[in-house]
Amino acid sequence: MITVLTGDCRDVLRTLADGSFDCIIVDPPYGETSLPWDRRVVGWPAAVRRLLKPTGSMWVFGSQRMFLECAAEFDGWKLAQDIVWEKHNGTGLFADRFRRVHEHALQFYLSDAKWGSVYKDPQYTNDARARTVRKKGRPAQWIGATGETVYRSEDGGPRLMRSVIFARSEHGRAVHPTQKPIEIVEPLLLYSCPPSGAVLDPFAGSGTVGLVAARHQRDCTLVEANEEFWPVIQDRMANDAPLFADPALSNPGPGD
Ligand X SMILES: C[S@@+](CC[C@H](N)C(=O)[O-])C[C@H]1O[C@@H](n2cnc3c(N)ncnc32)[C@H](O)[C@@H]1O
DSSP for 40-105 reads --TTHHHHHHTTEEEEEEEEEEE-HHHHHHTGGGGTTEEEEEEEEEEEEEEE-S-TTSPPEEEEEE
Partners of 86 in the beta sheet? Answer: 102, 166
Q: Is the CB of residue 206 less than 8 Å from the CB of residue 180? A: no
192 contributes a contact to ligand X by CB under 6 A: no
Q: For the CB of residue 144, give the shortest distance to ligand X in the complex, in Å.
A: 42
29 contributes a contact to ligand X by CB under 6 A: yes
27 contributes a contact to ligand X by CB under 6 A: yes
Of residues 184, 198, 220, 223, which one binds ligand X by CB under 6 A? 223
Of residues 208, 210, 213, 220, which one binds ligand X by CB under 6 A? 208
221 contributes a contact to ligand X by CB under 6 A: no
229 contributes a contact to ligand X by CB under 6 A: yes
Of residues 55, 57, 178, 192, which one binds ligand X by CB under 6 A? 178
Q: For the CB of residue 12, give the shortest distance to ligand X in the complex, in Å.
A: 7
Helix/strand number for the chain, H first, E second: 8, 12
Q: Which residues bind ligand X (CB under 6 A)?
A: 8-9, 27, 29, 37, 41, 176, 178-180, 203, 205-206, 208, 223-226, 229
